[in-house]
Amino acid sequence: MKIKVKPDFGKIGAKYGPLTPSIITTLTIDSPQTIINHIEKEGAHKFTVEGKEVSIGYDMIIIEREIPNGYQEAEYKNGFIYLNLERNPELEAEGYAREMTRNLQQMRKTAGLQKQDLIILFIKVNDTMKKMLEKYKEEVADKISAREIEIVSVNPIKNYELTTEFTIKNEKFHVWFEKIV
């Protein structure tokens, strides 16, 4: 992130009058971080222009932040937060796993199952999705009380009644389950 410090011409001119052009020149020469550090630590960025001491505070400058592409800035009471908005395959897979878990929990609720009721689960997805979700099988199983989860790209061999279907971002999920007695 780059920080820019721009002089507030009106406020500097009102206080320092004819010294304003020299003050602005000095502010453009000094690094933005130096100016900000002095104001934070000493209450003002002080320097001498044409034999007169100048004191610049936050009220006389405008701070601009140049945020890199792919990031979002949010300001809060004690500072700033920067969020990387770029997605990668690992984040995509985690997002699918979380949304799948939410849908499976809803399926359990609709089926009238209790938390302690264990199930065996078969989820049919395409080959790409199967590879993405494989890493999250145990985590999903734990969250939805499944003793076993099979993520497959073909229908299960055993003849189960199709329990539910749902779509996440244009990806189809076909789900079969069996309650363990």
pLDDT at 15 over 90: yes
Q: What pLDDT shows up at residue 84?
A: 87
Radius of gyration of the chain (CA): 30
CATH, domain 2-84, list 3.30.720.200, 2.40.50.180, 1.10.3720.10, 3.30.1330.40 = 3.30.720.200
Domain ranges of the chain: 2-84, 89-179
The reported pLDDT for the residue numbered 87 is 84
pLDDT at 162 over 70: no
Structure tokens at 99: 């949304």
Asked if pLDDT for residue 157 goes beyond 70, the answer is: yes
Question: Mean pLDDT throughout 24-30?
Answer: 93
Beta-strand relationship, 61-66 and 2-7: antiparallel
- What average pLDDT score do residues 101-128 get? 93
Determine what percent of the chain is predicted with pLDDT higher than 70. Answer: 99
Alpha-carbon distance 107 to 34, whole Å? 58
End-to-end Cα separation, the chain, in angstroms: 58
Average pLDDT over the chain, rounded to an integer = 92
